[in-house]
Structure 1
Amino acid sequence: MPTILTLYEFSEEQAEQIRDIAPDYELISATTKEVTPEQIREADILVGWNRKTEEAALESDRLKWVQAWSAGVDYFPMDRFEEKKVLLTNAGGVHAIPISEHIFAVLLAMTRNLHGNIRSQVRGKWDKGGTYGEASGQTMVIVGTGHIGRATAKLAKAFGMKTIGVRHSGRPEEYIDEMYKTDGLEQAFAQGDVIVNILPLTDETHHFFDKESFSRMKKGALFINVGRGPSVDTEALIEALDSGILSGAALDVFEQEPLPEDHPLWKREDLILTPHVAGNTDHYEERAADIFIDNLKAFVRGETLPRNLVDYSRKY
């Protein structure tokens, strides 16, 4: 009997849906600590992934599809999956609301100098210093305009901001006033009061934000990174802050995680640092399960998976 092995706990209602959609499959649930290599090797569909599962999954001759519980898939063995004809889908879209709200949380905090006020509070100081600006009327450049970029642009329009998008294809997107291909970065960056990085990590995007990229930005811009840590050259970022190219930055992801306690970024007062939590939400499990269930309906019918099928040639 073919099996669906999930490393995440579905609700009873979700489990019933899965059994109704795929009555010929056995649904097996196991925690990441308890799952055995034998269970992984015998799975036809695997929901979830970690380093422990990789060796057994790649040994399997049965595995046909892996549903990732994350949006980023740069840590998956995609070349081997492609070779073995294993499908991979991610949880893209789950994070659109929490990450777009996180972007605006840090944007408004830095625009209204809340980060400075909070530091003064901790020190017990009544300090009215600092700059107090407004989001309204500013231009936001969103690099990576998928689910999260679109949700971010929608919020930006509600705050009266102009929105510029950058994507590989240059295809227009709702809530984006102007869209540029990556070869139009210089023109896009020159207009940006706020630059938001939502890029996935691929060979092409590693250190996408380097010294040259920062040099193209409008002086005094705010940089927000909720994409992938290695897409930003940390040393180049520090140089851009020191030189005044950037007025500040909000970073949720880093080249090295956890960020070492002695890292110079911790001591900077022109930064807001968060420990890779922008996508955290109490709605995560429900939304990720919905993606899997929609894909499962197509899978059992032998159809192309409709949601978040990873293109191995693009690595996302």
Structure 2
Amino acid sequence: MTKSIVCLQPLTSQQQERIKAAAPGYTFTQGDAKNPDLQLLAEAEIVIGWAKGISDTLLRPESSLRWVQSWSAGIEKLPLDRLKQQGILLTSGSGVHAEPISAVIFGFILLFTRNLHTAVRNQQNRIWKSDGSESELFGKTAVIAGTGAIGSETARIAKAFRMKTIGVSRSGKPVADFDQIYTTDRLSEAVSQGDFIINTLPITDETKHLFNATSFSAFKEGSYYINIGRGATTDTEALIDALNRGQLRGAGLDVFETEPLPQDHPLWSMEQVIITPHSAGITDQYADRIVNIFTENVKSYLSSGTPSLNLVDYDRQY
């Protein structure tokens, strides 16, 4: 049987050639996630990306599939139980988003710190006004939930602003550019110190509604909450209550429990909230970075049978 790689996301000819060069002996086919060729996928050993309606073809008992390279960092929409049962290797796109998402995080932070969000609204109404509450980042504390690629890049940038950095992670292990790291069970203790609390977490059974009424009540009064991880990690009603009570001075939100955010949702009308449409990770360099991950993984897959980067632990769900 021919060794086959099928990519379901669009790649340039140059990106395709890079994959072919990294995987000698394999055929490479550019597929289409919107109109997947099931006959082609039925013979694939490696698939890049995923699509609706392909699970039964790829995960049948006699399937040739051995490895899936996710197109995204988040893998919660994939049939994880079936992939695990079939013994399929799964690698994520973790690390692809570090640069664009950290830029959005600091976009939110700087808008709030310098009141630029209200300045834009005032400009639309030709109002010359400042309430004098502008501040700066020097000496402020950023608490970053999630110390992976995005959290680490955010901490590195925070240090350039001479901020204190506190991380929250499952393991609590030290990571560069963090002054201190707490384990997740000490989340309330960590967030109580933050001027900006930044959520970069994936959605797992453990992180669902991790930010809830209890954790928001531990926030420093007048702090800001930023969520660019996954919407379901946050109890939206508890967030709105914390904003209305003034526990939070503002929130920068790129992800939501329901997407698109309904037009009648109360978050839209809250002037202390900045909303982006789950676009923080979008970048014109996205495909190049996925190809970088994939070609590096192909080397180790061909030599040892296992990809070396971003291998998903099905039990941890990331």
Q: Matches of residues 8-47 of structure 1 in structure 2 within 5 Å?
A: 8-47=9-48
2:290 and 2:282 map into 1 onto residues whose CA distance is 12
Query: Percent identity of the aligned residues?
Result: 48
Give the residue type in structure 1 aligned to 2:43: E
Q: Could you say if the C-alpha distance between residues 61 and 193 of structure 1 is closer, same or farther in structure 2, counting changes exceeding 3 Å?
A: same
SS class of match (2:20): helix
Paired residue for 2:187? 185
SS class of match (2:76): coil
1:95 deviates by: 0.4
- In the comparison of the two structures, how many residue pairs are matched? 316
Farther-moved stretch of structure 1 (212-221 vs 2-11): 2-11
Q: Matches of residues 1-316 of structure 1 in structure 2 within 5 Å?
A: 1-59=2-60, 61-129=63-131, 131-316=133-318
Unaligned stretches of 5+ in structure 1? none
**What TM-score does the superposition give when structure 2 sets the normalisation length?**
0.96
Give per-residue Cα distances to partners, 1:274-294, cap 9 Å, x unaligned. 000111111111111100111
SS class of match (2:192): helix
Give per-residue Cα distances to partners, 1:15-41, cap 9 Å, x unaligned. 333223322211111122232222222
Give the residue type in structure 1 aligned to 2:70: A
1:123 deviates by: 2.3
Give the residue type in structure 1 aligned to 2:178: I
Farther-moved stretch of structure 1 (61-70 vs 35-44): 35-44
Give the residue type in structure 1 aligned to 2:72: S
Q: Over aligned residue pairs, what C-alpha RMSD do you find?
A: 1.3
2:305 and 2:86 map into 1 onto residues whose CA distance is 19
CA contact (8 A) 2:301 2:308 kept: no
Q: Could you say if the C-alpha distance between residues 256 and 235 of structure 1 is closer, same or farther in structure 2, counting changes exceeding 3 Å?
A: same
1:169 and 1:110 map into 2 onto residues whose CA distance is 31
CA contact (8 A) 1:93 1:147 kept: yes
**What TM-score does the superposition give when structure 1 sets the normalisation length?**
0.97
SS class of match (1:175): coil
Farther-moved stretch of structure 1 (188-197 vs 31-40): 31-40
CA contact (8 A) 2:19 2:291 kept: no
Give per-residue Cα distances to partners, 1:204-240, cap 9 Å, x unaligned. 1110100001011111110000000000000000000
1:307 and 1:253 map into 2 onto residues whose CA distance is 26
CA contact (8 A) 1:47 1:66 kept: yes
SS class of match (1:301): helix
CA contact (8 A) 1:143 1:165 kept: yes
2:27 and 2:165 map into 1 onto residues whose CA distance is 48
2:41 and 2:73 map into 1 onto residues whose CA distance is 22
1:3 and 1:235 map into 2 onto residues whose CA distance is 48
